[in-house]
Structure 1
Amino acid sequence: MNLPNFVTLLRISLVPLFGYLYLLNPGELNLPAALVFLLAAATDALDGYLARSRREITRFGQLIDPIADKLLITAALLALVEAGLVSTWVALIILGREFAVSGLRILAAAEGKVIPASLWGKIKTVSQIVAVMAFFLGISWAPVLMWVAVVATVLSGVRYFQKAQDVLRSSLE
């Protein structure tokens, strides 16, 4: 177990703690949940930095890192839907994109290819984290930030599928 993978697994372990803390006071300013969410989100950048700087990029890390990201965002979106702060359709668009891109990555992996995170994927992740944090902190314009996150999510999904035409063609043969 290398350090970057440990950090990724730490992110996964923070998801249930975040969910528990948020659901203690849903829909209200919730600093403990916001701090755990922010810590978990920060580990996303940290594990990537560590893996690259230490040259410890592993297949396990390439697989588990996006799963950890999706678990964290899924937990946050479901908590916000449960609290009545985010519409179900917003969560479905975001989660649908996550599943679609994960499926695309699985197809690529079956062909021995890796689809790396793109700039749009990083913009999507940051916009989702910022929007979620805005809700957790009770910022009045959080819904606008969530719209930005939805647009970035859709655009990044379209971009992944545009770039993976070879994977899609070969999987249909």
Structure 2
Amino acid sequence: MAHELKMLQRDPPPGVCAWPKADRIDELEAQVQGPKNTVYEGGIFRLSIHLPARYPFEPPKVQFLTKVYHPNIDSGGRVCLDTLNMPPKGAWKPSLNIAAVLASIGLLLAEPNADDGLMTEITDEFKHNPELFDSKARQMTATHATDQASASLPRCQDADKVSRLGLKRPRPG
């Protein structure tokens, strides 16, 4: 796991960074940048990642810490994504890694899966009233995931990665 974490910190997927939480290798925090040309653009979404004792033979547990309006992410931050579940219902394989999971979450933000919605009301809105969905998702992103809303949150610690991802460090005070 230490090697995987070093690789993730050295060469993260675009729009993503992750780091150990309190120097624990089984607890990570991550940030995913809202994909361009989506209702999440401009947002920075914090996630918590727990690696079970049997990782990589079991998938990590991922939870959004930043509130997000999305059909596949519930109000508690749990994510409905096939790569986060074991077969036969899920698609987790030991060959997958944290970088792949974070890249998949970025893709899920860009392209919600209305056929596997976790939040029924939001899924119906996404399918049948996309203008209302877009408006609510943009508003929640602006309220909870923009620089102003998240200025007090920790950021990626490597300044080069932060600038490469287009993220800004919070200003003191």
Q: Same fold (TM over 0.5)?
A: no
Which has the larger helix fraction?
1
Q: TM-score range by the shorter chain?
A: under 0.3
State TM-score, norm by structure 1: 0.24
Q: Which is bigger in relative contact order (C-alpha 8 A, separation at least 6)?
A: 1
